Amino acid sequence: MSSLAPENVIATQKEGLDTTFGLAAQAVGGFEKLVDLNVRTIRTALDEHQALVARSFSVRDPQEFFALQNQHLQDSAKRVQAYWIGVYEIATGVRGGYLEAAQDQIEKSQRNVQAFVESLASHAPVGSEAVVSAWKSAIDAATESANSAYEAAKKAAQQVVEAAQNDASVASQTAVRAVPTRAASARK
């Protein structure tokens, strides 16, 4: 049966719509998680700042005040790090769904091309075997080249993500370690 038969076209369009709405649902789910993370972060920050102000009023000497501020800065740096880890995890989850959908689509397209070539080969006139064989070889080479390019791009993107994650982790750890040093120098 031809891939251009009305039933196949309708089925393909339905699959495309299902994929599109599935990806949209993943994006909305990721956005919903980000909103939830931000609301929780704001509530926590407000509660902690209220508690900090209340404790600041009960402080009796400058050294105790600076120790309180130092502790708050250290805790804040850790919370910022945790926040960005949460954002990264949400983004990675959505990205993973999109990558999976892209991989499925690539594989489906490759199967369709192979089925089309096989269909043409089976209906080719007698004596055209050399042309059909050359065409198959060209399509196989193009498919292999596309697969290699996709894998290379996927690997490069993964390396960029890992490098960014490592840089963010090092920066946040450096910030957490730098807070006590700055607080100590401010007391002097």
DSSP collapsed to 3 states, 28-51:
HHHHHHHHHHHHHHHHHHHHHHHH
Contacts of 50 (CB under 8 A, 6+ apart): none
Look at residue 84 and tell me whether its pLDDT is greater than 80: yes
In this prediction, residues 173-182 reach a mean pLDDT of: 63
Q: What is the pLDDT of residue 49?
A: 92
In tens, the pLDDT along 17-71 reads 898 898 899 999 999 999 999 999 999 999 999 999 999 998 889 999 999 999 9
The one-letter amino acid at 138: A
Domain count, the chain: 1
Q: Over pLDDT 70: what percentage of the chain?
A: 88
**pLDDT tens-digit series, residues 73-82:** 999 988 998 9
Does some domain include residue 180? Answer: yes
Of 38 and 100, more confident: 38
Indicate whether 97 belongs to any domain.
Answer: yes
Mean pLDDT calculated for residue range 115-130: 80
Rounded Cα gap, residues 32 and 149, in angstroms: 34
Q: Which domain holds residue 77?
A: 6-187
Q: What is the mean pLDDT of residues 143-166?
A: 79
53 or 118: whose pLDDT is higher?
53
- 1 found inside a domain: no
Residue 172 has pLDDT above 80, yes or no: no
Global pTM value: 0.65
Residues 6+ apart with CB under 8 A from 99: 154
CA gap 120, 114 in Å, rounded = 10
Residue 162 has pLDDT above 90, yes or no: no
The pLDDT value recorded for residue 182 is 54
